[in-house]
Copies of this chain bind each other. A is one copy, B any other.
Amino acid sequence: MKIAIAQTNPIIGALDYNLEKVACFIAQAKQKQVDLIIFPELTLTGYPPKDLLEREAFINHSLEVLDKLIGQTKDIAVICGCVERNFDHDKPLFNAAIFFHNGQVLLRAHKMLLPSYDVFDETRYFAPGKSPAWIDWRGLRWGVTICEDIWNDKDLFPRQLYKCDPLAQLAQANLDVLINISASPYHIGKPHFRQYMLSYLSQKYGFPIIYANQVGGNDDVVYDGNSLIALPDKTFLIKATGFEEDLAITEFKKGRGIKIDTSLEEEREVLDALILGTRDYAFKSGFKKAVIGLSGGVDSSLVAYIASQALGKENVLGVAMPSPYTSKESLEDAAQLAQNLDIQYQVIPITDIFEAFLKSLKPFFDELPWSTAEENIQARIRGNILMALSNKFGYLVLSTGNKSEMAVGYCTLYGDLTGGLAVISDVPKTLVYKLARYINREREIIPFRVLTKPPSAELRPNQRDEDDLPPYSVLDVILQEYIENRRSVKDIIEMGFPAHIVKEVVRRVDKNEYKRKQAPPGIKITSKAFGYGRRYPIVQKYTDFLLKSLG
């Protein structure tokens, strides 16, 4: 029996586009005599449709498109993710997998475990499925599950977030094969862990697991694909590519598979995610070209590289906007980067505009000392110029702030936070450097001087980041422990970091939620990104209480 995993990249809500894509994958599979083709979770709507699910017309249209798909597909069995209605009390929808063949629905599986943590909101829309679904088909017993349904194993996770384990329940039904359709978001190391988990579960229960994952970037989340079939003997029958669409076809038979390794170098994996996230954000929202403010620093250099990979070098404009505090070296480095990337490049000095601001504000600022006010004016002039270019010529503005800055608020609202997409806002500064060095592994793309000079916002004379912040090598570890690992301040101090630095970092993280509230969406690459998956009160005083309690 031939099986295909259709690793598709849908557009949220584009029911016609998504249907056509599904039909196209089915046609290809039929040409290769595939018996069963398996699509990811919520393929027809794209994942996550969020509050579109609250629109009756959207549900009706989704169901019509599903009916059309079922009606038009002949001579191949299909498993496809979509929504179904729940007519009982509780939430009005199910997150479903429909198994159909020649116009007949053979099985309807409803997702039982509904994630509601991090970026997930499924209990907002869906009622849980009542029991695990399986079917006897072509001499085998097939279990069908959806994403989270297989993520509650008591040996793999220290705490079960759900009371039941659908996989354990299914295992008692003497399954021959387990299918799981997913939309599993990427973060660093996740493809590797997922492959480990699928292999572990296949070994544990003694049946193959066919795993079909969505691929593509939707707003702030990237889905990495890496669909596969895991066998109980620690081998794999097949693996789809990472970070791109794929139709993976295999003869499904007993026996030994192959050994594979989804792990990439961390830098390669993160760059793939950022490039896909940027490409899809632009493509799906209708932008062909992007503009980036080039400061001559490492952040904007990295973003320009990612943009040129995502959109093509001919579609990227770098703009240097020097002020009186911009060094000659920075301007040279920006120009050199643009030349190395072969992107368009312009220089628009901001000094005259800055002076016009200072003149207008003189009656109020008077003889008061220089402060962040004057620094931020410059950043906001730059934001205004980039948006003017966007408004006039249709560029997507890509903002260039990194996660370390976003965390401690070392960034200017409406200034460097300007943009439609914050490409590296989940990338800590130390990882920004690692990525830049990786990009330069064969030849100088990001000018070497960018990687060696001390980072500076250049908003006042002789400014350096490390005048205002702890060294990034310290800051980034504290941030990772605090944000990703949710370690307490006390525990981080006990790891050996100076108490006053840890406290100051946490204080800054917590008090800058108001900036992050208004930041552009950023591409998630860590296990805990700012944005949709981290929901903090903007105004809260726990931090004061906590720091006081620590003395």
Question: Closest chain B residue to A91 by CB distance?
Answer: B161
Whole-angstrom distance between the Cβ of A364 and the nearest chain B Cβ? 7
CB contacts under 8 Å to B, within A310-346, are 346
Q: What residues on B are CB-neighbors of A11 within 8 Å?
A: 539-541
Whole-angstrom distance between the Cβ of A18 and the nearest chain B Cβ? 9
- Copies of this polypeptide in the complex: 2
Q: What residues on B are CB-neighbors of A540 within 8 Å?
A: 11-14, 46, 49, 52
Would you give the 0/1 interface string for A522-548, flagging 1 where the beta carbon is closer than 8 Å to chain B?
A: 000000000000111111111111101
Would you give the 0/1 interface string for A25-59, flagging 1 where the beta carbon is closer than 8 Å to chain B?
A: 00000000000000000000010111110111110
CB contacts under 8 Å to B, within A507-529, are 514, 517-521
Instruction: Verify A537–B48 contact, CB threshold 8 A.
Output: yes
A263 within 8 A of B: no
Whole-angstrom distance between the Cβ of A447 and the nearest chain B Cβ? 25
Q: What residues on B are CB-neighbors of A541 within 8 Å?
A: 11-14, 17, 284
A138 within 8 A of B: no
Q: Given A356-B352, A388-B377, is A538 in contact with B521 using a C-beta cutoff of 8 Å?
A: yes
A405 within 8 A of B: no
Q: What residues on B are CB-neighbors of A116 within 8 Å?
A: 116, 121, 123-124
Question: Closest chain B residue to A392 by CB distance?
Answer: B373
Would you give the 0/1 interface string for A487-520, flagging 1 where the beta carbon is closer than 8 Å to chain B?
A: 0111000000000000000000000001001111
A219 within 8 A of B: yes
Q: What residues on B are CB-neighbors of A46 within 8 Å?
A: 540
Question: Closest chain B residue to A354 by CB distance?
Answer: B356
Complex Cα spacing A475 to B193, Å = 51
A241 within 8 A of B: no
**CB contact between A61 and one of B14, B348, B549 (< 8 Å): that residue:** B549
Would you give the 0/1 interface string for A375-395, flagging 1 where the beta carbon is closer than 8 Å to chain B?
A: 011001101110111011000
A162 within 8 A of B: yes
Complex Cα spacing A535 to B11, Å = 17
A227 within 8 A of B: no
Whole-angstrom distance between the Cβ of A426 and the nearest chain B Cβ? 16
A117 within 8 A of B: yes
Q: What residues on B are CB-neighbors of A538 within 8 Å?
A: 219, 285, 521
**CB contact between A539 and one of B12, B56, B546 (< 8 Å): that residue:** B12
Sort chain A's interface into a size bin.
Answer: 35 or more
Instruction: Verify B391–A488 contact, CB threshold 8 A.
Output: no
Q: What residues on B are CB-neighbors of A159 within 8 Å?
A: 89, 92
Whole-angstrom distance between the Cβ of A379 and the nearest chain B Cβ? 9
Instruction: Verify B163–A537 contact, CB threshold 8 A.
Output: no
Instruction: Verify A360–B364 contact, CB threshold 8 A.
Output: no
A357 within 8 A of B: yes
A368 within 8 A of B: yes
Whole-angstrom distance between the Cβ of A3 and the nearest chain B Cβ? 30
Q: What residues on B are CB-neighbors of A195 within 8 Å?
A: none
CB contacts under 8 Å to B, within A152-177, are 159-163
Q: Given A50-B537, A90-B163, A376-B388, is A383 in contact with B414 using a C-beta cutoff of 8 Å?
A: yes
Q: What residues on B are CB-neighbors of A162 within 8 Å?
A: 89-90
Complex Cα spacing A388 to B387, Å = 19
A353 within 8 A of B: yes
Instruction: Verify B418–A414 contact, CB threshold 8 A.
Output: yes
Instruction: Verify B357–A353 contact, CB threshold 8 A.
Output: yes
CB contacts under 8 Å to B, within A107-162, are 116-117, 121, 123-124, 159-162
A420 within 8 A of B: yes
Instruction: Verify A385–B361 contact, CB threshold 8 A.
Output: yes
Whole-angstrom distance between the Cβ of A279 and the nearest chain B Cβ? 12
A455 within 8 A of B: no
A413 within 8 A of B: yes
Q: What residues on B are CB-neighbors of A68 within 8 Å?
A: none
Q: Given A123-B123, A346-B364, A486-B55, is A281 in contact with B377 using a C-beta cutoff of 8 Å?
A: no
Q: What residues on B are CB-neighbors of A444 within 8 Å?
A: none
Q: What residues on B are CB-neighbors of A90 within 8 Å?
A: 160-163
Q: Given A55-B486, A160-B89, is A388 in contact with B357 using a C-beta cutoff of 8 Å?
A: yes
A371 within 8 A of B: yes
A409 within 8 A of B: no
A15 within 8 A of B: yes
A192 within 8 A of B: no
Whole-angstrom distance between the Cβ of A229 and the nearest chain B Cβ? 30
Q: Given A520-B517, A545-B14, is A388 in contact with B414 using a C-beta cutoff of 8 Å?
A: no
Question: Closest chain B residue to A90 by CB distance?
Answer: B163
A350 within 8 A of B: yes
Q: Given A51-B534, A517-B520, is A284 in contact with B539 using a C-beta cutoff of 8 Å?
A: yes
A218 within 8 A of B: yes
Would you give the 0/1 interface string for A258-301, flagging 1 where the beta carbon is closer than 8 Å to chain B?
A: 00000000000000000000000100110000000000000000
**5 closest pairs, A vs B, by CB?**
A13-B542, A14-B541, A373-B391, A373-B392, A13-B540
* 9 contacting pairs across A/B (C-beta < 8 A): A16-B548, A55-B486, A121-B121, A352-B356, A353-B356, A357-B388, A373-B389, A373-B392, A414-B418
Additional A-B contacts beyond A55-B542, A57-B546, A116-B121 (4; CB < 8 A): A14-B542, A57-B488, A285-B538, A387-B413
